[in-house]
C-alpha cells in the first residue's frame, strides 16, 4: 500500500520539508491518527497545518480537534482507534 509521502508504507521521508515550527515531521499511518480515513487532500492539508505550527498550545489544540474528528470517522466505519495518539506530535515545539 502506498501510504507515505515517499510511497512507502506510511514512513516518513528522511528529508521531509520543514516549516517554521515542525522540524522534519513524520507522516503516515504509523504516525498520524486516522491517516487511513483521510483523503489524499486532507493528508496534504494536515501536513501543511502541522508544518505551520509555531507553538505547542496551538499544536495541541489542533491535534485534539483532529483526533476527535478521526475518532468520529472510525466510529462511523466500525473501526477501532486508540483513545489517544501513540506519540505527541507537538513535542518538538
Q: What is the pLDDT of residues 46-77, one digit of tens each?
A: 999 999 999 999 999 999 999 999 999 999 99
What are all long-range contacts of 22-29, with beta carbons under 8 Å and residues at least 24 apart?
A: 22/50, 22/51, 22/52, 22/53, 22/59, 22/92, 22/93, 23/92, 25/50, 25/51, 25/89, 25/92, 28/3, 28/4, 29/3
Cβ(10)–Cβ(30) under 8 Å? yes
- Please tell me the pTM assigned to this model: 0.68
pLDDT at site 10: 43
pLDDT at site 18: 42
Where do the structural domains in the chain lie, given as residue ranges? 39-93
Amino acid at each position: 500500500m502506498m501510504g507515505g509521502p515517499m510511497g512507502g508504507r506510511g514512513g516518513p521521508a528522511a528529508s521531509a520539508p520543514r516549516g517554521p515550527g515542525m522540524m522534519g515531521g513524520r507522516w503516515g499511518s504509523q504516525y498520524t491518527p486516522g491517516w487511513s480515513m483521510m483523503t489524499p487532500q486532507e493528508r496534504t492539508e494536515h501536513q501543511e497545518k502541522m508544518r505551520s505550527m509555531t507553538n505547542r498550545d496551538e499544536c495541541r489544540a489542533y491535534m485534539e480537534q483532529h483526533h476527535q474528528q478521526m475518532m468520529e470517522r472510525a466510529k462511523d466505519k466500525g473501526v477501532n482507534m486508540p483513545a489517544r495518539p501513540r506519540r505527541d506530535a507537538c513535542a518538538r515545539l
